[in-house]
Structure 1
Amino acid sequence: MHAEILLSCQLVGHFHGQMSLPNIAYIHSLHFQPEHRPILKQLVPWQQLEQSTQYWFDSLRRRHIQDMRLDLFGQYPLIYTRFNDGTLSAWRSDWQFNDLEQQWDIDYYESLCKLEKFPVLTTVDNRQDFLIVLHKLEHLAQVIGETQFAQIFHRAAGTLAQTSHSIRELQQQLFLAAQQAWVFGGMGSWNDAAPYLAAEQGLEQDYHHLTEQLHRQIRQALMYAVNFAKTTSRTTT
């Protein structure tokens, strides 16, 4: 999965107590720059990034944060924060590659929002719609000879097809399936040879339509997985 999206998912999920930050050795430094409280940067080794993140969470709580939401529907990931006084802000990351360390220096910058209300950012799980798209993509991949991608889509669909006994389990399945179904990138990715193979068989429109749907389903699954921390026990199939 794209590192910028993954990290933003993990930060919001970690804030809600839903997931731990992983071994993120590709990061050299991570900083959070508030709108009105610029802080002096200090290099933090990746082993201490969880403490750095916790410091950010603590600073947000001192400002009386009410909620945090991830928005993946725009051009780039945004983390929205809402405070007791009605203030809304958005955090956008800036990634700079550190040639000396061969790692990334990442800054999240806060900007105050002029939104009238806090974005809802999907409260409905998209398991069934996601499954339909994955099954169609698996079939398309088989038809155009991309058997490796057919296996990827099949595996992601298998994750979603498992029974979940709580909303939390469903959130975990959606998050894992989204990671498994992320087939985008450069050479060797789903958007490399697949569109040309599809065009050769007159399936170019199918390829573009289903790929666009896959993008949307992945993003919706990730937002459902991390944006809503309060879960109740239930049985889903």
Structure 2
Amino acid sequence: MSDPILTLEEVHTDIGRYRILQGVNLVAPRGAVTMLLGRNGVGKTTTLRTIMGLWRARSGRIVFDGADIAASPTPAIARAGIGYVPEDMGIFSDLTVEENMILAARSGPLAEARRERIFAAFPPLRTFWRKPAGTLSGGQKQMLAIARAMAEERRLYLIDEPTKGLAPAIVAAMAAALRALKAEGASILMVEQNFSVARHLGDHAAVMDDGRIVWTGAMAELAGDRALQERLMGLSLDAHGEP
């Protein structure tokens, strides 16, 4: 935790008359995978959207690589080096896979080396490169959503539930691709409801409840303490199989 790439300090976010984030304090270390965990509806997605400026924090500081971005517009946050994969994937179904990737890369068509890196992580994208993205399966669309965030070098990836609703074989492929991204030294802040995936990918964990961070520590510590898991999240990681 001595070298954070992202720090949230007492972040409050309201949506209409509802106070969703109520003083979030969170640190994401550089070059590590931080899992943001908790029950449904406690503010995890709101946290990611607030970091990206899609929802504006009412108060608090959001410091990315030494700069406070709490008041920055979303395009400026993206240009600063944060890639975002929303839960709804955000792909353009009528465009081809290639066109989706070009839109995600400000510099235009992908360089061959980067394209091959993405194909190595997600082989189906090579097959469907010039097909409409709407023809992809759910798992392939999720692959495209993550690949779009990889279209340019990012210093931090925010990924919201990438394995939600996917078949086990696709979950395994997705986990392998994220492991490869982690091995390259990427910093990742990830919301994940599949706790087996969280356990195997995460270096650190932060658990949310009622709009606040209620526990932080090593993912291995949380994974090894069934009583702590049940107290914080109401379930045991042991209930989930291998990714």
So what's the TM-score if we normalise by structure 1? 0.30
Identify the structure with the greater helix proportion: 1
So what's the TM-score if we normalise by structure 2? 0.30
Ranked by relative contact order (alpha carbons within 8 Å, sequence separation 6 or more), the top structure is: 2
Identify the structure with the greater strand proportion: 2
